[in-house]
Structure 1
Amino acid sequence: MSHEAWTLLGTPTAGGVLVVSDHASARVPEDIDLGIDPALLTQHVAIDIGVAEIGALLAQVPGVAAFLGGVSRLVCDFNRDADAPAVVPLASDGHPIPGNALDEAGRAARLARFFDPYHAALEQVLSAYDPALILSLHSFTPRLSSDPAQARPWHVGVLYNQDERAARLALDWLAQEPGLCVGDQQPYSGRLLNATMNRHAEAHGRPYVGLELRQDLIGDAEGQAAWAERLGRLLPAVVAGLS
């Protein structure tokens, strides 16, 4: 199942896991000119590197499906509230996005084309199948281009807002993995940036956990396979702990 704003991989199941990756794609539709260097579309400002591939691998596991965003966050950032300025960003990590200088009608049309169908479809899947757990999967850079002195040593960060049930289980499990540097609310807080999970999980009492994987660890097939295998062991442990 797919739409230009999203793709659903695997078969959702009641009591299973739905992986949600808002920033899985760097695609910019041909009829949209962002006015940027195309090289930016290979960078974090445009896409969460590695998460689409990990989501696809996890969707091959029985009981796991993956709901992936279908356009670049520079076209429409699904992990924002609809009235937030950054939902159609004018700049990202110091890079201006001149093609997003839209008037009110243009902004509304952008949201109607991408943001609204994405969130409507995600809610439909969640309501229809009632998974036991939502995994909100993102990735982060070892350093920000706008602040290269800010090191980010964590291999994985666990994010959450008010509902800590699944996050605490995931933190405990990840802490037992040899050699992992695990961040609690790192590299930023889920209490500040959690729009999709606030809307679809917290607002409905659905258990979820947000994971941020460091991009240099999942930038190739080997790293993606390794993390998909690890998450394939983590997810059933968290589901079991919730029951």
Structure 2
Amino acid sequence: MSEAWQLHGAPRFGGILVVSDHASNRVPADIDLGIDPALLEQHMAIDIGVGAIGRTMAQRPGIAAFQCGVSRLVCDVNREPHAPAVIPIASDGHAIPGNALDHAGHEARLERFHMPYHDALAQVLDDAPPALILSLHSFTPRLATGDEARPWQVGVLYNEDDRAARIAIPLLAAEALIVGDQQPYSGKLLNYTMNRHAEADGRPYLGIEIRQDQIGHAAGQAEWAERLARLCNEVALKLGE
């Protein structure tokens, strides 16, 4: 464990590893983002619901959850190290003055959070290679900049490797869910962590985005934790056939 990441449960060879880049809204005490603290409860700071789902899933044998320990506003570990949004100076129309760093400050932030997160994740995957990685995120029911509702209850995302996605989509649809294939956005656009740790090494992974009104409460989180545990085990079994 470190301030950059947390591991829940015991990773197991051939098990399931749930990876959540945006599970926390924590801002270390020595970092002042210069924003209204209320914004830390919004999507710009955290993927609502995914931390609790991962921790609940990790209570099951064979499932562990690897989660980032700080808000995406401190350091977005699902971005390339030198992408502008890795330490965002604005998000959802809100300026983040505490992230207006010089080069040395930018590099220090990356060395403190981004590098340890990815180094630790690589080590976990090497020490106990899972049968499947679940990349777990959540999305807003509508964009902050528009009124159009997003109809999908869950989205399945991927880049080049769609092995797990092709199995999971019909399984989710069979549960009477509205399932987005590469919705609400494409995994070919935002997939850094899985590109680095799964696709680069041929590890099977399933990218899941859950609409936040489904999991903004304990009952929904419990329901989705149970559903995803079942889904991941079934996908892993079919991948192994």
Q: TM-score band (shorter)?
A: over 0.9
Aligned to 1:223: 220
Paired residues for 1:14-163 under 5 Å: 14-145=13-144, 147-163=145-161
How far apart, CA to CA, are the structure 2 residues paired with 1:235 and 1:195? 21
How far apart, CA to CA, are the structure 2 residues paired with 1:148 and 1:192? 21
* 1:143-200 Cα distance to aligned partner (Å, 9 max, x none): 121x22232110000000000101111112111112x110000000000000000000
SS at match of 2:216: coil
* 1:190-215 Cα distance to aligned partner (Å, 9 max, x none): 00000000000000000001000010
How far apart, CA to CA, are the structure 2 residues paired with 1:63 and 1:37? 40
Amino acid at match of 1:221: A
User: Shift of residue 95 of structure 1?
Assistant: 1.2
Question: How high is the TM-score relative to the length of structure 2?
Answer: 0.98
SS at match of 2:223: helix
Residues 90 and 96 in structure 1, CA contact (< 8 A), matched pair in contact too: yes
Aligned to 2:203: 206
Are positions 1:233 and 2:230 aligned together? yes
Residues 19 and 65 in structure 1, CA contact (< 8 A), matched pair in contact too: yes
Q: Where does structure 1 lack aligned partners over 5 or more consecutive residues?
A: none
How far apart, CA to CA, are the structure 2 residues paired with 1:140 and 1:236? 24
SS at match of 1:210: strand
Aligned to 2:172: 174
How far apart, CA to CA, are the structure 1 residues paired with 2:140 and 2:197? 26
* 1:20-39 Cα distance to aligned partner (Å, 9 max, x none): 00000000000000000000
Say how many residue pairs are matched: 240
User: Shift of residue 111 of structure 1?
Assistant: 0.2
Q: Which runs of 4+ in 1 moved over 4 A?
A: none
SS at match of 2:187: coil
How far apart, CA to CA, are the structure 1 residues paired with 2:139 and 2:130? 26
How far apart, CA to CA, are the structure 1 residues paired with 2:6 and 2:193? 16
Q: Where does structure 2 lack aligned partners over 5 or more consecutive residues?
A: none
Of all paired residues, the percent bearing the same amino acid is 70
SS at match of 1:130: coil
SS at match of 1:89: coil
How far apart, CA to CA, are the structure 2 residues paired with 1:61 and 1:209? 19
Residues 93 and 144 in structure 1, CA contact (< 8 A), matched pair in contact too: no
SS at match of 2:8: strand
Over aligned residue pairs, what C-alpha RMSD do you find?
0.6
How far apart, CA to CA, are the structure 2 residues paired with 1:23 and 1:38? 17
User: Shift of residue 140 of structure 1?
Assistant: 0.3
How far apart, CA to CA, are the structure 2 residues paired with 1:120 and 1:39? 31
Question: How high is the TM-score relative to the length of structure 1?
Answer: 0.98
